[in-house]
């Protein structure tokens, strides 16, 4: 009796093997990731070693901007706004009025940022059959085999995204892309400090 499940398992392995090997002989091209739509809105469920977040992602390539609005579980709401000129603003809109500005060498992700990824085959993730790719040991990307929507991705750090919604063509209104005034005041302060130190060192 106990042998039966084992034989069944072998059969399944054999079948899987046959399916796989027949595939490798077929002339079907290796699947490539679908480029990102030029504008979309997506709600992402994030899990980074048990730290959970909901991210509202607004990708807007024609306008050169990308927005991650990050709700930490029972924590703060963070706005991570990136421009294609490399400037990004990370801020809160509550009374803490925090803002951190940074300047990166690169802009936002291009719609074809997954070009050149290595195809790893198919796998079920979150209950969806996906094509899987890996890019430069940085990201593992899972896309629905049937409708080509992203389902899941994992960064090398283990930070994982589960795509909950994917609204192609959705655009966030312009006014929402305005970083708050204190993001710019700080800069002025820094400038003033620099000016002051210049004045002081001159005297
Ligand atoms: C989050 O990921 C950890 C593994 O890092 C896992 O143990 C846990 O179940 C996940 N939590 C949720 C809510 O998915
Ligand atoms: C990049 O663009 C944003 C939005 O227009 C602007 O606030 C920022 O100052 C620009 N950065 C640079 C370095 O020009």
Where do the domains of the chain lie?
Answer: 1-203
pLDDT at 189: 56
- Nearest alpha-carbon partner for 98 in 178, 186, 193: 186
* SS3 assignment, position 175: helix
| 18-75 tens-digit pLDDT | 444 444 556 788 999 999 999 999 999 999 999 999 999 999 999 999 999 999 999 9
Query: For the segment 100-116, what is each residue's pLDDT rounded down to a tens digit?
Result: 999 999 999 999 999 99
Residue having the nearest C-alpha atom to atom 7 of ligand 2:
87
**pLDDT, tens digit, for every residue of 152-194?**
999 999 999 999 999 999 999 999 999 999 999 855 555 555 5
* Ligand 1: residue whose CA is nearest its atom 1: 50
DSSP secondary structure string, 124-142?
A: EETTEEEEEEEETTTEEEE
Burial call 162-179: b when 16+ CB within 10 Å, e when fewer: bbeebeeeeebeeeebeb
Superfamily of domain 1-203: Lipoprotein localisation LolA/LolB/LppX (2.50.20.10)
Cβ 49 under 6 angstroms from ligand 1: yes
At 45 the pLDDT is 98
| Closest C-alpha to 45, from 167, 129, 154 | 154
- Pairing mode, if any, of strands 65-72 and 139-144? unpaired
Closest CA to 144 of 159, 131, 157: 131
- Asked whether the predicted pLDDT for residue 86 surpasses 80, the reply is yes
């Amino acid at each position: 009796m106990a042998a039966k499940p084992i034989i069944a398992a072998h059969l399944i392995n054999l079948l899987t093997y046959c399916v796989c090997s027949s595939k490798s002989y077929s002339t079907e091209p290796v699947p490539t990731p679908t480029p990102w739509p030029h504008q979309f809105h997506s709600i992402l469920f994030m899990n980074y070693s048990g730290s959970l977040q909901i991210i509202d992602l607004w990708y807007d390539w024609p306008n050169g901007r990308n927005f991650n609005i990050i709700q930490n579980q029972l924590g703060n709401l963070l706005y991570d706004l990136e421009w294609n000129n490399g400037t990004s603003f990370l801020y809160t809109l509550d009374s803490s009025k925090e803002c951190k500005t940074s300047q990166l060498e690169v802009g936002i992700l291009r719609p074809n940022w997954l070009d050149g990824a290595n195809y790893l085959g198919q796998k079920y993730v979150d209950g969806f059959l996906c094509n899987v790719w890996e890019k430069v040991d940085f990201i593992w990307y899972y896309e629905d085999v049937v409708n080509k929507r992203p389902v899941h991705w994992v960064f090398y750090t283990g930070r994982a995204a589960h795509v909950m919604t994917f609204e192609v063509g959705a655009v966030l209104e312009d006014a929402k892309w305005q970083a708050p005034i204190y993001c710019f005041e700080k800069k002025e302060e820094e400038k003033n400090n620099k000016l002051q130190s210049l004045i002081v060192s001159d005297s």
